């Protein structure tokens, strides 16, 4: 199921609720648009794929830099790899996250499960950035 991330003009998401970690083990897509310093923005599309054995799952993350090579000429970078669910206690609270490990050897990325429709990019300690920027990626309806 696709997931789309929208943010308001201040870069804050208006999503809230509770999420079950099993919700992110099945096929779904997430999306986020982010402003960029040197162009109109970056479109993130994250697809989480469940494996047929139900254990090992994979992901694809497409990052499209809008107008990167001139007006109307976008440039897309793709990362593929393994998806895992991670459980950890952060600031005395249990946290569930999705760990994306690229098969090209780059550093893993972590997304805390905020609710049924939202994942939030965090560091490898599963802590959120101290920033006013929005790091949410939201489920897209199909």
Contact assessment for residue 138 and residue 8, using Cβ atoms and an 8 Å cutoff: no
pLDDT at 52: 58
- Model confidence pLDDT, tens digit, residues 89-127: 999 999 999 999 999 999 999 999 999 889 998 999 999
- Residue 3 above 70 pLDDT? no
**End-to-end CA distance of the chain, in Å?**
7
pLDDT-derived band at 131, boundaries 50, 70, 90: confident
- Residue 79 above 60 pLDDT? yes
Please tell me the pTM assigned to this model.
0.71
pLDDT at 33: 61
Cα Rg, the chain, nearest whole Å:
15
Contact assessment for residue 102 and residue 108, using Cβ atoms and an 8 Å cutoff: yes
CA atoms within 13 A on the CB side of 95: 23
Question: Based on the number of CB atoms within 10 Å of its own CB, is 110 exposed (0-12), middle (13-18) or buried (19 or more)?
Answer: buried
- Model confidence pLDDT, tens digit, residues 38-73: 777 888 889 888 765 656 688 999 989 888 888 888
């Amino acid at each position: 199921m696709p997931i789309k991330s929208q943010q308001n003009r201040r870069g804050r998401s208006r999503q809230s609720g509770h999420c079950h970690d099993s919700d992110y083990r099945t096929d779904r897509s997430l999306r986020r648009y982010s402003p960029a310093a040197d162009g109109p923005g970056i479109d993130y599309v994250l697809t989480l794929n469940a494996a047929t054995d139900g254990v090992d799952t994979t992901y694809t993350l497409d990052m499209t830099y809008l107008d990167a090579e001139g007006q109307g000429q976008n440039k897309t970078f793709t990362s593929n790899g393994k998806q895992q669910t991670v459980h950890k206690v952060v600031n005395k609270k249990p946290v569930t996250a999705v760990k994306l490990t690229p098969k090209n050897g780059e550093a893993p990325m972590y997304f805390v499960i905020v609710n049924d429709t939202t994942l939030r990019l965090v560091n490898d300690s599963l802590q959120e950035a101290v920033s006013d920027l929005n790091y949410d990626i939201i489920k897209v309806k199909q």
